[in-house]
């Protein structure tokens, strides 16, 4: 019988998990290594502490109407798309309203999470934490890991010959980017055309001498603003559109969406995407098309190699005098506090049942929350995960047998996508 639940992390997923535990009559204790809630959405200028936060200018890609928690709407006077400061204020309001802070232990690092010796029958975990140099051991009936997927920067330097051995300029991961001040007058290469790569390219184009954006795949660019000025996700996320998707062949719905997207600007003319390409990504960015049209951003293909000051691309072109290379290449998740026998059960979220449960465990008392890549808001997805998981912990919801969960995992294992 699950009663005491450890929640690791007080970001979006952690707050939702504490709230859902309380809704089910469970007793959550949340461990947060920093001094406040918010996770990556609590902006800080420094990266020295090892805590990742968003960059200064970031704005949500999903609207407040489609991002808020199910039982706590965003204030009416908040804008449709929130800067990090307002989103953090929303989290504070949520935590105060549901009295979540008293269940959170701040400045407490989780050192290890291990199965108890009788785990096969009890499903319990030993959680060792540290606060102000003092270690403490706890026994919990279940653990919800809410550390998210923005943890370890994915920096594939081995795929870029010369970047470490010949290139004399500076290179960094987008995790270390805070604002454009240090890039004034520089010639900058941004590698990665996801949401982060698009955002940073646009921001850098305002101060840099030149920005080059290297994209491996076709990229379709959508605007936050839809017809008649309404938020794009609010207009498109409807039951009718879901029925439309279910009714029509996927190839036809894709063609309709791409035609709609091309009515804004023709992606093929800009060198961004072709409707014939099967390998593509979708990003949200209103300013990127104009930057490409005005030449402040130059689109480039995949990098072939680096020299001391230049970059050679796969199409044979070269760009000289590159000062800085910014890798917007995503992240890898890492849970170093989990014991090796458990951590080895899943190499990524594709190995988890419903992206949450390691199916090989004798007892389903470990849940990974927020390790998902959605077309909509991660806040909404994390809350739905937490609601389902706490229902299982409370006993009114059930998981299928382990063999069926494993079969489902193997059947639905798609190619992994980096979170950028």
DSSP 100-129: -GGGEE-S-EEEEEEE-TTHHHH--EEEEE
Q: How many helices and strands in the chain, by DSSP H and E?
A: 12, 20
Instruction: Answer yes or no: is pLDDT of 104 > 90.
Output: yes
User: Would the pLDDT of 279 be above 90?
Assistant: no
Q: Which of 327, 349, 381 is the last residue of a domain?
A: 327
Domain boundary among 327, 348, 374: 327
Domain identity same for 136 and 194: no
Q: Which residues contact 370 (CB under 8 A, 6 or more apart)?
A: 11, 12, 13, 146, 147, 148, 149, 378, 381, 382, 385
Cβ–Cβ < 8 Å for 273, 280 = yes
Question: Cα separation of 62 and 420, whole Å?
Answer: 15
Cβ(98)–Cβ(120) below 8 Å: no
Residue 159 phi, psi dihedral angles, 5° rounding: -85, 0
Question: pLDDT tens, 349-394?
Answer: 778 999 999 999 999 999 999 988 887 899 999 999 999 999 999 9
Range of the domain at 342: 4-151+331-411
153 has a pLDDT exceeding 80: yes
Task: Tell me, yes or no, whether 167 lies in a domain.
Answer: yes
pLDDT, tens only, 41-79: 999 987 666 678 899 999 999 999 999 999 999 999 999
Q: Give domain status of residue 84, yes or no.
A: yes
Least confident window among 94-108, 155-169, 230-244: 230-244
**Domain endpoint, select from 312, 327, 342:** 327
Verify that 311 and 350 share a domain, yes or no: no
The CATH number of the domain where 385 resides is what?
3.50.50.60
Judgement on whether residues 170 and 79 belong to the same structural domain of the protein: no
pLDDT for 245? 86
Q: Which residues of 209-225 are buried (b: 16+ CB within 10 A; e: fewer)?
A: ebbbbbbeebbbbbebe
Which band of pLDDT confidence, cut at 50, 70 and 90, is reported for residue 120? very high
In sequence order, which ranges of 297-401 are alpha helices (DSSP H)? 340-343, 378-394
One domain for residues 41 and 145: yes
300 belongs to a structural domain: yes
pTM score, whole prediction: 0.92
Instruction: Residue 260: count other Cβ atoms within 10 Å of its Cβ.
Output: 13
pLDDT attached to residue 258? 84
Mark whether 167 and 290 lie in a shared domain: yes
């Amino acid at each position: 019988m699950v009663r005491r639940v450890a929640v690791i992390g007080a970001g979006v997923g952690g707050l939702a998990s504490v709230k859902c535990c309380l809704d089910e009559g469970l007793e959550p204790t949340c461990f947060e290594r920093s001094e406040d809630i918010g996770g990556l959405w609590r902006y800080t200028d420094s990266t020295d502490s090892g805590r990742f936060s968003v960059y200064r200018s970031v704005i949500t890609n999903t609207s407040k109407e489609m991002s808020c928690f199910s039982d706590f709407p965003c204030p009416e006077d908040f804008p449709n798309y929130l800067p990090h400061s307002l989103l953090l204020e929303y989290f504070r309001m949520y935590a105060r309203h549901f009295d979540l802070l008293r269940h959170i232990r701040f400045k407490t690092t989780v050192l290890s999470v291990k199965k108890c010796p009788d785990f096969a029958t009890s499903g319990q975990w030993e959680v060792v934490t540290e606060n102000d140099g003092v270690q403490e051991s706890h026994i919990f009936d279940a653990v919800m890991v809410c550390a998210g997927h923005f943890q370890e920067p994915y920096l594939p330097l081995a795929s870029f010959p010369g970047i470490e051995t010949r290139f004399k300029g500076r290179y960094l991961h987008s995790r270390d980017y805070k604002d454009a001040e240090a890039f004034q007058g520089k010639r900058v290469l941004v590698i990665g055309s996801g949401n982060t790569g698009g955002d940073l390219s646009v921001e850098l184009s305002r101060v840099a001498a030149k920005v080059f954006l290297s994209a491996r795949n076709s990229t379709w660019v959508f605007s936050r603003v839809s017809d008649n000025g309404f938020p794009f996700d609010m207009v498109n996320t409807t039951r009718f559109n879901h029925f439309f998707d279910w009714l029509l062949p996927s190839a036809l719905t894709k063609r309709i969406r791409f035609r709609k997207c091309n009515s804004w600007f023709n992606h093929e003319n800009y060198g961004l995407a072709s409707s014939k390409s099967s390998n593509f990504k979708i990003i949200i960015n209103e300013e990127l098309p104009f930057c490409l049209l005005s030449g402040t951003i130059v689109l480039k293909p995949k990098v072939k190699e680096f020299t001391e000051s230049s970059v050679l691309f796969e199409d044979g072109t070269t760009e000289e005098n590159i000062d800085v290379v910014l890798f917007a290449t995503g992240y890898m998740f890492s849970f170093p506090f989990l014991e090796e026998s458990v951590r080895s059960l899943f190499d990524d979220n594709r190995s988890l049942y419903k992206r949450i449960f390691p199916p090989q465990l004798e007892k389903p008392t470990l849940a990974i929350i927020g390790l998902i890549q959605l077309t909509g808001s991660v806040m909404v997805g994390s809350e739905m995960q937490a609601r389902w998981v706490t229902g299982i912990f409370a006993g009114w919801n059930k998981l299928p047998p382990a063999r069926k969960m494993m079969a489902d995992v193997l059947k639905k294992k798609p190619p992994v996508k980096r979170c950028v």
